[in-house]
Copies of this chain bind each other. A is one copy, B any other.
Amino acid sequence: MYQRKIPIDYNCGLSVAMEVVGSKWKFCLLDEIHKGIKRPKDLVLAINGISKRVLQNQLRELELHGLLAKTIYTEIPLRVEYYLTETGVSLLPLIVALDKWGMNFAPQLKTILENESFETQM
């Protein structure tokens, strides 16, 4: 993994939160896993645009940070299921709220960004 050069500010809750969860896919991942999609291969299918490699990286970080854990079933073919730890679960209300907020905001953002590129064209 990458060894960061600019340190985290542990005294700012927002910094800490962003560190573990502020990346392109992590909220989505936690959300999907909570909704019941637990296996890597299913997550790749469920999450539009994520690649297998990126998924694995994010899962590993979430696991390392203690938001996820996994169970390995020694079946054939191999089955691995991820689940939210207590810490992970404690984030759920926030994820739900943020998702709702984003859905609400989407049209506004779309309009803004479309006008943006329109003006840039002229």
Report A's interface with B, CB cutoff 8 A. 6, 8-20, 22-24, 27-28, 31, 48-49, 64-66, 87, 90-91, 93-95, 97-106, 108-110, 112-113, 116
Contacting pair A102 B28 (CB below 8 A): no
Known contacts A14-B95, A15-B24, A94-B98; 16 additional CB pairs below 8 A are A8-B109, A9-B49, A10-B110, A12-B28, A12-B48, A12-B99, A13-B105, A14-B27, A14-B31, A15-B102, A16-B106, A17-B102, A18-B24, A66-B112, A91-B101, A94-B101
For residue A14, which residue of chain B has the nearest CB? B27
Q: Could you list 12 examples of A-B contacts with CB < 8 Å?
A: A9-B49, A12-B28, A13-B102, A14-B99, A15-B24, A16-B106, A18-B27, A22-B22, A65-B109, A87-B108, A90-B101, A97-B97
